[in-house]
Structure 1
Amino acid sequence: MASSPQLLDRPRVLVVGGGYVGLYVALKLQKKIANAGGIVTLVDPLPYMTYQPFLPEVAGGNIEARHAVVSHRQHLKQTELLQGRVTSIDHANRTAVVAPADGGDNFEVPYFDVVIAAGAITRTFPIKGLAEKGIGLKTIEEAVALRNSVLDRIEVASSMTDPAERARALTFVVVGGGFAGIECITEMEDLARAAVKNNPRVKQEEVRFVLVEAMGRIMPEVTASQAEWVVEHLRSRGIEVLLNTSLDNAEGSLKLINLPDKSLAQDFEADTLVWTAGVQANPMVRSTDFPLEPRGRVRVLADLRIAGDEGIIPNAWAAGDVAAVPDLSGSGLPDGTCVPNAQHALRQAKRLAKNLWASRWDKELKDYKHKNLGAVAGFGEWKGVANINILGRIGLKGPLAWLAHRGYHGFAMPTFERKIRVIMNWILIFLMGRDTTQLIDLDNPRGAFVAAATPAPKPAAAPAAEQPKAAGSAERVTADSK
């Protein structure tokens, strides 16, 4: 174990993860803890928090990628930031092991309180070819790559003459019919329509979008009638919706099966495969001494303290997707815990920060309770669905739902500075239209420079030409010698 970097020698609140929960806990506590003589330390491999509900809009070109993230350095001025991963926690001895993002030696970080806010990762299944061919929609990098891939495939296909290759390039498949999958495929379809309008060598009817969902309905967060309307809306835009269908194999062509009878549903080729079929708790919690429930989440009470069979674990807290937080409203998952989404994570973070601070002064802790505000989803410009619970349940479709979606997420975007940047993006898109400029070679930015800086090979020297003999010289030598 290497020596620790220069850490501030104060009682430490260690925040593991810089997503929704980690960012807000640090924001709410950094000043209070510092004034009390302590320090908040946040550990995350990324230097920013990603507002994941905006990833479909980033993929669709409606929001600049940097505006959908919140810089830790810019907004956590009084927080000690460590860029790396917590690989293990020994709470009995109040220490965590951190692996630096730059690949250096691991080091230990002592703490007084710990907040587990490591979030979730994409949940996948052992499907052949999925890891090699698929892409998720959980990070800002994936959203940017997906946007560029859609534009690239349309541009490349416009120059293809082989019908099979052209069809493969223009086929886009999204697996998962939850909010992320529906918003992703509709934003991609909007982006593709805009790109095709600018490219006379591609026709809109050539572009194929396929949504694959294993359940018998999509978007469980909205009512059944709204879900049916969404399916009709998708199909009216030419998007194929395959319910009770699963991806069986992604090696070569995509093989889809009907789940009721396990028969082959479709077999076709596609260059673009997006996986949005669920999330799972960050597996780093398995390297801790905290109690976990069957789904791999940290067990917590409603006041967000970690607790196991033997009772409450002092000075240990957790919230967000990595924690099994009881849903006191009764509208959560079948096991009685909160649904893993941004709405819960943001609210839980604020309650956790208040409870942690109250625990320092032996004040009463309050349980996390919430009123479900409903659900909003955007399907591209002026299209969407919403289920709003304010003065009773209000169901919205179309432009009003789209405005509700933007209004809610614009308000929920962390920090005033980021709200303004996102709103300005929307205003520019409204005035100027969607930007379909393709950025290429982002995975190889030095390619052009390396080619220019590499000396060209010298041409091989031509063999010396044989000198012709003077006419009659051989005869003269022979004659003179006689």
Structure 2
Amino acid sequence: MNTVTRPRILVVGAGFAGVECVRRLERKLSPDEADVTLVTPFAYQLYLPLLPQVASGVLTPQSIAVSLRRSKRYRTRIIPGGAIGVDLKSKVCVIRTITDRILDEPYDYIVLAPGSITRTFDIPGLTDHAFGMKTLAEAAYIRDHVIAQLDLADASQDPAERASRLQFVVVGGGYAGTETAACLQRLTHAAVKRYPRLDPGLIKWHLIDIAPKLMPELGEKLGRSAQEILRRRGIEISLGVSIAKAGPEEVTFTDGRVIPTRTLIWTAGVVASPLIATLDAETVKGRLAVTAEMCLPGHDGVFALGDSAAVPDLAKGQEGAVCPPTAQHAMRQGRHVADNVIATLRGQAMRPYVHKDLGLVVDLGGRDAVSKPLGVELRGLPAQAVARGYHWSALRTNVAKTRVMTNWLLNAVAGDDFVRTGFQARKPAKLKDFEYTDAYLTPEQVRAHVAGTARLDR
């Protein structure tokens, strides 16, 4: 009796791109057309743009972590782990599960959407003493840490210790860094009223970036407006400056200043997932070089998108232009690549990806925001309405929308709360502890592992 096996579609990553791809595949493919498998350490989609609001306590962590299993139609098999290597020739993905078991997952079609990791540099002490803002765990941890600094400063009898615990440094003048500094500064400004022994003047926030402008994508006027808002709140902004070295109780800037601090938050950009390096394929600034259809040239059935792929930006009409690593592109690329996978399965022609950028929104907390929807520059409450309206509409489920809206309304009426949740252990967890960048294999190790497993199976 002949057994006909269904094509195996493997999707790597449950970010905006991966989840949108899986949802589209489930809607448009009948169950007997293909088997769909998703590789992700967590069975939820994280709405990353709202992470600073989790760190500041405006939103609860579960409100922006949308379960992948809520849909009654969900039939995708989930492997709880991360892809650590791909053998394109053998069509095998090597996976490390959350229990550190190594699996070999064969595929017929693979969609690579592993996302990105925090970009770091060879700065002494950086990974040992800095916090990141890329995961839900990091956001919750930073909130605990910042409130703990207020508690410890209030209890301290040492003026030097008190001063160092009440200074905070954020590196990165992009959207993540700017929103993180803005939201957390509002938290400490509100919280210090509950600490009568603390001098509010001792709380200082520093936002630094090596670039000459804050969020240059916003343009000159809006970028300047954002700076004015932050400076009016008391945040010290230093441009053209980075970190020379980091220690447990102080940070040295490249301009020679030494800032006593116990809190260094690093948000200076992202790079493609280390998984891309295991493919031994052409890259563009670390991102996988793909066609406008999001296919990997020379390899049938291999698609890549999102932060880890250099997808040509045809809407710009400029040679060499690639899509920026933003949520609006990732979501649309996810749906588009699913259509191209289905077209390939059915022997139809694929379509190139084209999307014109809808604009930018920056939520600075409270009534402060700057937005540029469709090129229209907005500030204040209109910008805040656009920013929150965009984020709210982009949330995937009605449950998530309800939770976020409820959190926003509760925060507006009742204000912030300053409770430490207890996530912070006695052993500090820093940048190196949240992103497992040492878990990936080299291309040679991938090939050797797959070949060794194949010999054992024979």
Give distance in 2, aligned partners of 1:424 and 1:114: 38
2:391 is matched with which residue? 409
Choose which of 421, 431, 434 in structure 1 pairs with 2:416.
434
2:361 is matched with which residue? 376
Give distance in 2, aligned partners of 1:438 and 1:272: 16
1:204 is matched with which residue? 200
2:268 is matched with which residue? 277
Residue 223 of structure 1, CA deviation: 0.9
1:333-360 Cα distance to aligned partner (Å, 9 max, x none)? x951111111111111111111211222
Choose which of 296, 299, 304 in structure 2 pairs with 1:313.
299
1:311-337 Cα distance to aligned partner (Å, 9 max, x none)? x421111110000001112289x9511
Does the residue aligned with 1:328 lie in a helix, a strand or coil?
A: coil
Give distance in 1, aligned partners of 2:391 and 2:108: 35
Give distance in 2, aligned partners of 1:331 and 1:162: 60
**Structure 1 residue 103 corresponds to structure 2 residue 100:** yes
**Identity among equivalent pairs (%):** 35
Moved more, 87-96 or 145-154: 87-96
Look up the equivalent residue of 1:257 and give its one-letter code: T
1:106-140 Cα distance to aligned partner (Å, 9 max, x none)? 22111111000000000000111111110010001
**Structure 1 residue 21 corresponds to structure 2 residue 17:** yes
2:454 is matched with which residue? none
Moved more, 32-41 or 207-216: 32-41
Choose which of 227, 251, 255 in structure 1 pairs with 2:252.
255
CA contact (8 A) 2:39 2:83 kept: yes
CA contact (8 A) 1:30 1:39 kept: no
Choose which of 76, 84, 102 in structure 2 pairs with 1:79.
76
CA contact (8 A) 1:12 1:111 kept: yes
Does the residue aligned with 2:425 lie in a helix, a strand or coil?
A: coil
Residue 31 of structure 1, CA deviation: 4.4
CA 1:331/1:53 → structure 2, altered by over 3 Å: closer, same or farther?
A: farther
2:342 is matched with which residue? 357
Choose which of 228, 233, 240 in structure 1 pairs with 2:236.
240
Does the residue aligned with 1:209 lie in a helix, a strand or coil?
A: strand
Give distance in 1, aligned partners of 2:423 and 2:18: 33
Give distance in 1, aligned partners of 2:409 and 2:228: 29
Give distance in 2, aligned partners of 1:25 and 1:33: 12
CA contact (8 A) 1:194 1:436 kept: no
Within 5 Å, give how 1:315-464 maps onto structure 2: 315-330=301-316, 335-389=320-374, 393-440=375-422, 442-443=424-425
1:120-179 Cα distance to aligned partner (Å, 9 max, x none)? 000000111111110010001111111111111112111222111111000010000000
1:16-53 Cα distance to aligned partner (Å, 9 max, x none)? 11111111111111244452332110011222221110
CA 1:170/1:80 → structure 2, altered by over 3 Å: closer, same or farther?
A: same
Give distance in 2, aligned partners of 1:442 and 1:211: 24
Q: Which runs of 5+ in 1 are unaligned?
A: 1-7, 259-263, 446-482
Give distance in 2, aligned partners of 1:441 and 1:298: 36
Give distance in 1, aligned partners of 2:276 and 2:398: 32
Give distance in 2, aligned partners of 1:364 and 1:225: 44
**Structure 1 residue 49 corresponds to structure 2 residue 31:** no
Does the residue aligned with 1:377 lie in a helix, a strand or coil?
A: strand
Q: Which runs of 5+ in 2 are unaligned?
A: 428-458
CA contact (8 A) 1:34 1:40 kept: no
Choose which of 166, 170, 192 in structure 2 pairs with 1:174.
170
Give distance in 2, aligned partners of 1:435 and 1:253: 28
CA contact (8 A) 2:24 2:338 kept: yes
Residue 93 of structure 1, CA deviation: 2.2
Give distance in 2, aligned partners of 1:281 and 1:339: 12
Give distance in 2, aligned partners of 1:132 and 1:108: 33
2:447 is matched with which residue? none
**Structure 1 residue 164 corresponds to structure 2 residue 146:** no
Return the TM-score normalized by structure 1: 0.84
CA contact (8 A) 1:196 1:204 kept: yes
CA contact (8 A) 1:171 1:209 kept: yes
Give distance in 2, aligned partners of 1:138 and 1:279: 9
Does the residue aligned with 2:242 lie in a helix, a strand or coil?
A: strand
Does the residue aligned with 1:303 lie in a helix, a strand or coil?
A: coil
Give distance in 2, aligned partners of 1:335 and 1:398: 36
* Count of residue pairs brought into register by the alignment: 422
Give distance in 2, aligned partners of 1:53 and 1:103: 30
1:182-218 Cα distance to aligned partner (Å, 9 max, x none)? 0000000111111112221223211000011101101
1:261 is matched with which residue? none
CA 1:56/1:387 → structure 2, altered by over 3 Å: closer, same or farther?
A: same
Look up the equivalent residue of 1:404 and give its one-letter code: V
Higher relative contact order, chain-length normalized (CA < 8 Å, sep 6+): 2
Moved more, 379-388 or 421-430: 421-430
Return the TM-score normalized by structure 2: 0.88
Give distance in 1, aligned partners of 2:397 and 2:334: 15
**Structure 1 residue 37 corresponds to structure 2 residue 28:** no
Choose which of 119, 131, 138 in structure 1 pairs with 2:134.
138
Moved more, 68-77 or 277-286: 68-77
Give distance in 2, aligned partners of 1:55 and 1:356: 31
**Structure 1 residue 292 corresponds to structure 2 residue 257:** no
**Structure 1 residue 188 corresponds to structure 2 residue 184:** yes
Does the residue aligned with 2:393 lie in a helix, a strand or coil?
A: helix
Does the residue aligned with 2:384 lie in a helix, a strand or coil?
A: helix
Choose which of 54, 57, 60 in structure 1 pairs with 2:56.
60
Note the aligned Cα RMSD (angstroms).
Answer: 1.9
Give distance in 2, aligned partners of 1:146 and 1:207: 16
